[in-house]
Amino acid sequence: MQEVHRRIHDQLYSSRPQILVAHSLGSVIAYNYLIQHPELNIRRFITLGSPLAFRVIQAHLPQPIVRPAALSGDWINFYCSDDFLTTFPLSEPPFQFQPAIINQEIHTSIYHLHDIDGYIQHPDVIKALLELL
């Protein structure tokens, strides 16, 4: 885990606001990192196919689950209701904080529902990435 955090650290420490995109279990790692580093300036946090809605995942995160102080902008969570790992939006407790997470349902590939390709190539995800660049 320390090596993963070092790599994240090397990319996110900058005087400029950052956009952080994380897929699947990477969204859990990224959330945990943001909680541990409130000094960061993350302009947008985009989670793709995140399992954060599952209590078994939440049980391993720092409690209580809160909006990361490092997040100065919005959090957009893209999920696919056909993807069994991400079938739920991040809107139920403990994710009812303000500003609210923007949950957006999209439809990914019918053959590989959880693959990052289906998420990252979706027009709504591309728009969320490009509108801040």
**50-76 pLDDT per residue, tens:** 999 999 999 999 999 999 999 999 999
CB atoms within 10 A of CB 29: 15
Higher pLDDT, 113 or 83: 83
3-state class of 56 per DSSP? Answer: helix
Which of 68, 105, 76 has the alpha carbon at shortest distance from 88?
105
Which amino acid, one-letter code, is at 89?
Answer: P
Q: How far is it, in rounded angstroms, from Cα 79 to Cα 68? A: 20
Residue 106: pLDDT above 70? yes
Across residues 45-51, what is the average pLDDT? 96
Higher pLDDT, 133 or 61: 61
Using CA atoms, how far residue 7 sits from 10, 14, 25, 68, in Å, is 5, 14, 16, 19
Q: How far is it, in rounded angstroms, from Cα 86 to Cα 26? A: 13
For the chain, give every domain's residue range.
16-130
Which of 75, 129, 130, 76 has the alpha carbon at shortest distance from 105?
76
**Cα Rg, the chain, nearest whole Å:** 14
Whole-prediction pTM value?
0.89
